[in-house]
Chains A and B, each alone.
With several copies, the nearest count.
Chain A
């Protein structure tokens, strides 16, 4: 499941579904709205392009690390502290591939998927600067 969506997901159910034949390790990354003195976070995506980018990243991770299953769910809209922003679930035969594949996916998402976050505070809001000045090529 690759999705950009408002709704949260049931991580337990996704883990169960990720246990494809041959799975020995499942790694879940759950990115959460951190309490940095904010009231809420607002997320926005260039959805059509972001979904395609996520699909491309998932495919690359599957090829590169021999993953047996990949889910990437990136939420948009208004989220409060502690809510899930991004859930990545990968399964592999062995743990090194599961960890490396999971890490690869999050780093690629940070680099090049058109999604933006605004931290809302009592005084207003602030767009979170990207980790990379330039975004990766999307072409």
Chain B
């Protein structure tokens, strides 16, 4: 099972983007992002707090739809999913 992870803005600078990764069936959103972010301490600290929870300002999406932070630990990813993780928006 392959999923694509897209980080944006500050998160992208620290963690990269368009990351294709193999996941086991039943993998949940939060542990997937955690495992990717672990590769870069500054990137991890940008996305997660000291307790390992998403910072409350982080925005998550799966296939273009918002995933609430409170649902992330129990939201599974499946083959072909596009996961997006980004800081507050600042367009306009």
Contact = CB atoms under 8 A, between A and B. Distances in A.
Please determine if A and B sit in direct contact within the complex, based on CB atoms under 8 angstroms apart: yes
Interface of A: 31, 43-46, 48-50, 52, 74, 85-86, 106, 109-118, 127-135, 137-139
Most buried by A among B12, B67, B88, B89: B89
Contacts, number: 87
A8 B65 CA distance: 29
Number of chain B interface residues as a range: 20 to 34
Contacts of B41: none
A48 B64 contact: yes
Contacts of A45: 91
Contacts of A133: 56-57, 88
Interface of B: 6, 8-10, 12, 56-57, 59, 61, 64-67, 84, 86-92
